[in-house]
Amino acid sequence: MTATDTLTGTPIALVGLGKIAIDQHHPSILKSGAFRLAATVSRNAGLDGIPAYTSLAALLDNQPEVTAVSLCTPPQVRHAMAREALEAGLDVMLEKPPGATIAEVEALTDLAAARGRVLFATWHSRFAAGVPAAKAWLAGRQILRGTITWREDVRRWHPGQRWIWQAGGLGVFDPGINALSILTEILPAPLRLTGAELEFPENQETPIAARLSYLTGAAPIAADFDFRQEGPQSWAMEFETDDGVLSLADGGATVSAGGQNLSQGEALGSEYDGLYARFARLIATRTSEVDLSPLKHVADAFMLGRRLTTDPFIE
């Protein structure tokens, strides 16, 4: 018997050990009373004291007690692993974006339903501290216009990660989809893309910047996504309404309206804790949760966006 055998909680495996898995998923699993980290799967990394495997098949062969996996691999390879896990009878949590295409995530949703498994497509930014307060405040007001500024330094947040520049890796929409996940959560009316400009480095397959025009009802929403931000990072939204201005800062952690703080938190502070608490509830109720609206808006941007070529990106 090992030390982990004496622990309580659903045994879960962390699949993919990149920056987000190590910085966010691992600490949140350790803090969760609902899960215990039973194993990891990665081609070239591991965690001290945790059984490690280089394939999902090896995990399944050696630790049949594992009943859930959290998939943190790049989106281009996630569908095959999620399918393997669901077919093996595991419940599956997907890091955002849930896949490289809408169709493949829909196929996973159907498979999970057919096999009676739980599938959770996560949007961590919806669990930012200020998002519920922002949603409640906007619910009773008419939005007149809005601006979204989501600018960060790709070298800081995705160092050496080639997958993000390859087709299916989304480029600047990897962080931009966080903004879209908040928008689709808090807006009282649906969002519709009306125009887009996407800047592609001449040596990469995905965009480094995007300027997007939306409508929610009759209100225009302008979004500016950029991977070239140096210094302070910008994850902010502002909505002018018929009854004052709502501002979100730090990725939705801080929200103010009419000069009053509605919520104050830390960027990324408890978002992943919230994800694992939600996953535990979904498992307990045998319920899947798959909302593809943020990914659909990214797909719309690639369909409708005018492509511009910019300077090459060199790490």
Positions annotated as catalytic residues are 96
CA distances from 17 to 12, 121, 313 (A): 14, 18, 25
What residues have CB less than 8 Å from 104, skipping those under 6 apart?
Answer: 79
Find out whether 146 and 216 touch, Cβ atoms under 8 Å: yes
Length of the chain: 315
Least Cα distance to 216 among 288, 144, 156, 287 occurs for 144
Find out whether 302 and 193 touch, Cβ atoms under 8 Å: no
Span between the terminal Cα atoms of the chain, in Å: 46
What residues have CB less than 8 Å from 14, skipping those under 6 apart?
Answer: 21, 25, 26, 29, 37, 39, 40, 41, 47, 69, 70, 72
Query: What does the alpha-carbon distance between residue 163 and residue 171 come to, in Å, rounded to a whole number?
Result: 9
Strand partners, 224: 149, 211
Least Cα distance to 163 among 55, 76, 72 occurs for 76
Least Cα distance to 112 among 57, 68, 63 occurs for 68
Query: What does the alpha-carbon distance between residue 183 and residue 235 come to, in Å, rounded to a whole number?
Result: 12
